[in-house]
């Protein structure tokens, strides 16, 4: 399985700590080894089977749906979810904006307005733009965005990663109908969050 490159500084540090601890006693290496395994699991980046239906708005992140209405779908990620984020639609990156802010618990609705975040706008070839907000949380203090304005994306392409547990908001285009409900589980790049009327594409 692919591991996101952001893992390697953490993995190297924990591996070195485990080797140093094992030199004194094998039992001392248990904690850094556990942290090493956690790190590798956290930064896993599995391949996805991305639907080819252009009317779908796909989940940009794995996790639990905590909001689902005609204007926005929000996904909360815990530390055991895959944290590599993906584009919900195909299109050109119209803008990327970093907004400084607080680090409130990410499941709170006001976290979207007050927390540190990166706002991406993806403009499909036809139809309205889709706004994706990567939101930092209480523990997640680092958003790594790997796309820039002008980049052409396919639906399901990787756009970045959030460390360590947070939320992602998707602002739906007018007329989109949510296909998920609060409490559902989403898989990045595979789960359809909403459907856009074919006439709008």
- Rounded Cα distance, 34 and 107, in Å: 27
List pLDDT tens digits, range 18-39. 787 777 777 777 886 787 788 7
Tell me the mean pLDDT in the region 174-196.
Answer: 93
pLDDT band of residue 198 (cuts 50, 70, 90) is low
* More confident call, 128 vs 102: 128
Tell me the mean pLDDT in the region 136-162.
Answer: 85
Go through the chain and tell me how many residues it has: 201
* CA separation, residue 143 to residues 15, 33, 59, 160 (Å): 24, 25, 18, 8
Classify 42 as helix, strand or coil: helix
Classify 71 as helix, strand or coil: coil
Q: What percent of the chain has pLDDT over 90?
A: 44
E strand or H helix at 183: none
- Rounded Cα distance, 83 and 43, in Å: 7
Tell me the catalytic residues.
166
Given a cut of 70, whether residue 101 has pLDDT beyond it is: no
Global pTM value: 0.85
* More confident call, 111 vs 40: 40
Classify 63 as helix, strand or coil: strand
pLDDT band of residue 144 (cuts 50, 70, 90) is confident
Q: Say which CATH superfamily domain 56-200 falls into.
A: Glucose Permease (Domain IIA) (2.70.70.10)
User: Please, what is the Cα angle at 82 between 87 and 91, to 5 degrees?
Assistant: 5
30 and 18 Cβ atoms separated by less than 8 Å: no
Given a cut of 70, whether residue 10 has pLDDT beyond it is: yes
Domain ranges across the chain = 5-42, 56-200
- Rounded Cα distance, 63 and 180, in Å: 12
Which residue(s) pair with 113 in the sheet? none
What lies within 8 Å, CB to CB, of 195 at 6+ separation is: 55, 56, 57, 176, 177, 179
């Amino acid at each position: 399985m692919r591991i996101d490159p952001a893992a390697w500084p953490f993995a190297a540090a924990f591996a070195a700590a485990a080797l140093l601890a094992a030199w004194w006693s094998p039992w001392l290496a248990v904690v850094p080894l556990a942290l090493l395994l956690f790190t590798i699991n956290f930064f896993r980046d599995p391949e996805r089977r991305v639907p080819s239906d252009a009317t779908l708005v796909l989940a940009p992140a794995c996790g639990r749906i905590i909001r689902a209405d005609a204007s926005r779908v929000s996904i909360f990620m815990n530390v055991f979810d895959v944290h590599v984020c993906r584009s919900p639609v195909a299109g050109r990156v119209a803008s990327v904006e970093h907004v400084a802010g607080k680090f409130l618990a990410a499941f709170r609705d006001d976290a979207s307005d007050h927390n540190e975040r990166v706002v991406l706008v993806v403009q499909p070839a036809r139809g309205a733009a889709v706004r994706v907000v990567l939101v930092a949380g209480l523990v997640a203090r680092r958003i790594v965005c790997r796309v820039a304005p002008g980049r052409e994306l396919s639906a399901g392409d990787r756009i970045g990663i959030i460390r360590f547990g947070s939320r992602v908001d998707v602002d739906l285009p007018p007329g989109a109908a949510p296909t998920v409900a609060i409490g559902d589980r989403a898989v990045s790049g595979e789960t359809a969050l909403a459907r856009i009327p074919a006439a709008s594409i």
